[in-house]
């Protein structure tokens, strides 16, 4: 028996669908509080020292957190090549905007304190805000467009043709709602982190904004679910599914209809755990932030992020990128993956390196545990951001 035959092809495809979800959720949870903290920066800190306090809550860890974004992009490239080709080329302008915003983060962290000028530092503080707000918004907008379907199709030769035109066509009402949900969710999560790492006036302001963000998350998540059930057409495979066959997106038939994205919850009721976590986690973050239970608030906001991101995945399964102009071309778990051997080798490598990343990250957070206060910032100007 060939080694990779130890795991069936269809099983490997589901495993990699789950792993992709884990990596994307890992990015949303770990790098998400960095983005949320940067978005909060101009509002919860009123002077230079307070801003440095907020910046130093994420300054030592944001680079490690961004590893999850790299892992997610790498997994899409290697495990789901058609998905990578369509999303990274079709959403090129949106990806470029995210990349530009993310580039502002390291530059802002490194350069804001290079000059003792209020205007200079204020400019970099707003650059850090852009580096947090813009990715949070655009990633949510992208998810909203994925749920509605993306304008691409495959030719009979399996050549991808993307028929979208501009970045602005992505800014439709439902996608903007998803973008606002993403911002609210990550601001809530970032506020939970800042509350854990600070005290005093910064923490009090953060508590107010975090509570508002948690309430907005609940409301926007509910509105998104209602809109999805009533106004957004979902996709369903109507032909026989060759779960272990070669990847060929055109070897199926697909129908569209209102409410289909919610059909999985009737077929597999356990999937309702995802949206329940989304609501319960946000409600818990709201409560625990007000009660000043800082660690519990961060765990609750993490659970909410997990649930909201997972809700998208389980609602769409087995679809991973539907096509709005040719439903048959939609990419699914069963027809968009790499080969059996490639998925097996990647699984073996992932089983070795992801635990190492988790272990190292845990060690870093243990070493950096504790609050950042103004006295530490003033006394350690040579090392603090």
CA 181 to CA 192: how far, in whole Å? 17
* Tens digits of residue pLDDT in 34-88: 999 999 999 999 888 889 999 999 988 888 898 898 888 888 999 999 999 888 8
Whole-angstrom CA distances from 338 to 91, 94, 313 are 21, 25, 19
pLDDT at 19: 94
Any idea where the domains of the chain sit in the sequence? 3-379
Q: Which segments in the chain show pLDDT lower than 50?
A: 1
3-state secondary structure of 74: helix
pLDDT at 258: 87
First to last CA, the chain: 56
pTM, entire model: 0.93
pLDDT at 383: 61
pLDDT at 158: 87
pLDDT at 224: 95
User: What angle in degrees, to the nearest 10, is found between the helix axes of 340-367 and 9-44?
Assistant: 30
CA atoms within 13 A of residue 76's CA, in its CB half-sphere:
18
Q: Residue 80 has which token pair? A: 């789901």
Contact (CB, 8 A) for 37 and 57: yes
């Amino acid at each position: 028996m060939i080694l990779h035959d130890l795991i069936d092809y269809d099983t490997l495809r589901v495993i990699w669908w789950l792993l992709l979800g884990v990596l994307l959720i890992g990015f949303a949870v770990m790098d998400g509080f960095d983005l949320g903290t940067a978005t909060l920066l101009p509002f919860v800190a009123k002077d230079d020292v307070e801003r440095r306090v907020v910046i130093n809550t994420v300054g030592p860890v944001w680079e490690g957190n961004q590893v999850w974004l790299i892992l997610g992009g790498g997994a899409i490239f290697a495990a789901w090549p058609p998905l990578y080709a369509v999303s990274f080329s079709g959403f090129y302008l949106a990806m470029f905007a995210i990349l530009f915003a993310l580039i502002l983060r390291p530059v802002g962290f490194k350069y804001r304190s290079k000059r003792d000028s209020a205007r200079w530092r204020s400019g970099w503080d707003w650059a850090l805000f852009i580096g947090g707000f813009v990715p949070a918004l655009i990633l949510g907008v992208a998810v909203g467009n994925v749920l509605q379907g993306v304008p691409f199709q495959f030719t009979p030769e399996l050549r991808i043709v993307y028929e979208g035109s501009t970045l602005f066509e992505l800014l439709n009402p439902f996608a903007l709602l998803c973008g606002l949900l993403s911002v609210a969710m990550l601001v809530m999560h970032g506020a939970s982190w800042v509350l854990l790492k600070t005290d005093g006036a910064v923490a009090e302001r953060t508590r107010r904004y975090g509570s508002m963000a948690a309430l907005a998350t609940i409301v926007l998540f509910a509105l998104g679910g209602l809109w999805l059930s009533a106004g957004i057409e979902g996709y369903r495979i109507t032909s026989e599914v060759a779960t272990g066959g070669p990847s060929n997106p055109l070897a199926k038939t697909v129908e569209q209809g209102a409410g289909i994205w919610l059909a999985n919850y009737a077929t597999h009721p356990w999937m309702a755990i995802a949206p329940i976590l989304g609501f319960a986690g946000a409600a818990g973050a709201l409560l625990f932030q007000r009660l000043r239970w800082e660690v519990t608030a961060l765990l609750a906001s993490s659970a909410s992020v997990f649930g909201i991101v997972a809700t998208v995945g389980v609602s769409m399964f087995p679809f991973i990128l539907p096509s709005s102009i040719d439903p048959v071309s939609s990419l699914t778990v069963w027809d968009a993956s790499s080969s059996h051997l490639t998925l097996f080798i990647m699984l073996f490598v992932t089983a070795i390196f992801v635990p190492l990343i988790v272990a190292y990250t845990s060690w870093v957070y243990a070493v950096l545990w504790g609050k950042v206060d103004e006295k530490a910032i003033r006394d350690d100007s040579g090392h603090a951001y």
